[in-house]
């Protein structure tokens, strides 16, 4: 039997190419976490870049002048919002942590009452299943309460580390300033110090990836921010007019985080919350939450077509797999990072995917 060495050399080269890209991607993700302030600055830059161009167009000002105007405006908002958020989060998280046992007991009693009101005879459930449902309540609520307790403890540790926050904030603001003002210079320097072959071969992929991923991050960050602001204002309004909402900022952060997850959305939190309020007897609060959800959905449906220029082309099933994989590897945050990694992989391996991964690697041509 004659072994076609040239064929297997091509196959090994293609496999090595894929492996090296995956290793490079893993290193890039590690570096992005390490240099998180610069990544945050870049995402903010993507959001405010249209405003800079708008000022340049309307006033004929230079890029530096336009960037400084927007930079001062955005930095002031960020500083004010961060200061308010630190004090409010510390207050709400501390109060919730102190009263957590009371809320756990309420949740336990609510769940037990719900099970007692079920007619197991009509459902024809075996007695063993009924026993498991009734006895597992404490385990479920205990696990959830431990997650909440750990999250609140971590949150308090973060918001009380003022020196670290000040350093991160300063670096992020400075990075944002330099990216906005010296964008052209930075791009020229990168091209100047890289080999021309790298610029020619990798440049197109980087531009495509920046356009796809950058557009996705920009659109999602804007939509999440809008949902967060609407929910925060709405919850504070409901609190001021007398509804029983004790932790509006924490709840708005939770809604914003869930809204950031593809496939899911703010309704995943707000609909069950409204139902629980109705079951608990507070029907007015349940209706108010639904009204707030409708307002958020209308605003999102209005903004989304204008922010998301085109579909990223990822089927919801693969997005769900990416969310689950991210959750299994790094926890809750992985549900947000998983789809982002999926978009990156889809863009990098577009040629392989279009031609069929295994077919392209093992094709004899």
The DSSP string of 16-69 is HHHHHHHHHHHHHHHHHHHTHHHHHHHHHHHHHHHHHHHHHHHH---HHHHHHH
Q: How many domains is the chain partitioned into structurally?
A: 3
**What does pLDDT average to in each consecutive run of 10 residues of the chain (365 residues)?**
66 78 80 86 84 87 86 89 85 80 72 62 60 65 74 77 83 89 74 68 65 70 82 90 84 83 77 82 86 86 62 67 82 78 75 60 61
Q: Is residue 303 situated within a structural domain? A: yes
Considering the domain architecture, whether residues 45 and 150 belong to the same structural domain is answered as yes
Q: Which of 182, 213, 243 is the last residue of a domain?
A: 182
CA dist 114 → 120, 133, 208, 289 (Å): 12, 11, 52, 21
Q: Is residue 104 situated within a structural domain? A: yes
Q: Which of 182, 204, 234 is the last residue of a domain?
A: 182
Domain extent at residue 285: 224-256+264-310
CA distance 102 to 118: 25
Considering the domain architecture, whether residues 46 and 137 belong to the same structural domain is answered as yes
Q: Is residue 216 situated within a structural domain? A: no
Q: What share of the chain is helix, strand, coil (3-state, %, to 5)?
A: 85, 0, 15
Residue 346 pLDDT: 76
Q: Is residue 202 situated within a structural domain? A: no
Considering the domain architecture, whether residues 173 and 288 belong to the same structural domain is answered as no
Q: Which of 182, 211, 237 is the last residue of a domain?
A: 182
Considering the domain architecture, whether residues 88 and 129 belong to the same structural domain is answered as yes
Considering the domain architecture, whether residues 119 and 143 belong to the same structural domain is answered as yes
Considering the domain architecture, whether residues 162 and 249 belong to the same structural domain is answered as no
Instruction: Single out the residue of 348, 32, 351 nearest to residue 205, CA to CA.
Output: 348
Q: Is residue 321 situated within a structural domain? A: no
CA distance 179 to 210: 15
Q: Tell me the two tokens of residue 169.
A: 């904030």
Q: Is residue 269 situated within a structural domain? A: yes
Which three-class secondary structure state does DSSP give residue 236? helix
Considering the domain architecture, whether residues 30 and 58 belong to the same structural domain is answered as no
pLDDT tens digits for range 175-203 = 988 888 887 777 677 666 667 766 666 66
pTM of the model: 0.67
Half-sphere exposure of 107 (CA within 13 A, CB side): 16
pLDDT tens digits for range 242-280 = 888 888 888 888 888 888 776 677 888 888 888 888 877
Considering the domain architecture, whether residues 106 and 234 belong to the same structural domain is answered as no
């Amino acid at each position: 039997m004659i072994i076609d060495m040239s064929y297997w050399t091509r196959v090994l080269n293609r496999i090595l190419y894929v492996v090296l890209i995956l290793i490079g991607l893993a290193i890039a993700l590690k570096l992005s976490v390490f240099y998180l302030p610069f990544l945050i600055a870049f995402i903010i830059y993507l959001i405010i870049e249209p405003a800079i161009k708008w000022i340049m167009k309307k006033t004929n000002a230079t890029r530096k002048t336009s960037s400084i105007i927007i930079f001062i405006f955005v930095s002031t908002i960020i500083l004010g919002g961060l200061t308010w958020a630190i004090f409010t989060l510390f207050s709400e998280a501390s109060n919730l942590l102190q009263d957590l046992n009371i809320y756990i007991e309420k949740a336990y009693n609510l769940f037990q009452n719900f099970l007692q009101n079920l007619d197991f005879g009509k459902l024809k459930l075996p007695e063993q299943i009924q026993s498991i449902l009734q006895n597992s309540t404490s385990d479920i609520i205990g696990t959830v309460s431990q997650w909440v307790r750990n999250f609140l403890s971590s949150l308090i540790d973060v918001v009380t580390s003022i020196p670290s926050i000040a350093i991160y904030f300063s670096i992020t603001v400075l990075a944002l300033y330099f990216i906005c003002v010296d964008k052209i210079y930075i791009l020229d320097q990168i091209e100047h110090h890289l080999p021309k072959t790298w610029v020619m071969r990798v440049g197109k992929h980087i531009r495509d990836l920046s356009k796809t991923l950058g557009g996705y991050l920009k659109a999602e960050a804007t939509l999440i921010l809008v949902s967060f602001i609407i929910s925060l204002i709405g919850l504070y309004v409901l609190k001021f007019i007398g509804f029983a909402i004790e932790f509006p900022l924490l709840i708005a952060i939770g809604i914003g985080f869930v809204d950031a997850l593809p496939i899911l959305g703010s309704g995943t939190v707000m609909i069950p919350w409204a139902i629980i309020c109705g079951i608990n007897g507070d029907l007015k609060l349940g209706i108010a939450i639904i009204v707030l959800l409708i307002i958020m959905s209308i605003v999102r449906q209005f903004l989304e077509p204008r922010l998301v220029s085109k579909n990223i082309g990822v089927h919801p099933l693969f997005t769900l797999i990416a969310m689950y994989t991210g959750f299994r590897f790094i926890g809750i945050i992985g549900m947000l990072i998983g789809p982002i990694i999926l978009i990156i992989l889809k863009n990098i391996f577009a040629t392989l995917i279009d031609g069929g991964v295994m077919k392209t690697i093992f094709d004899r041509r």
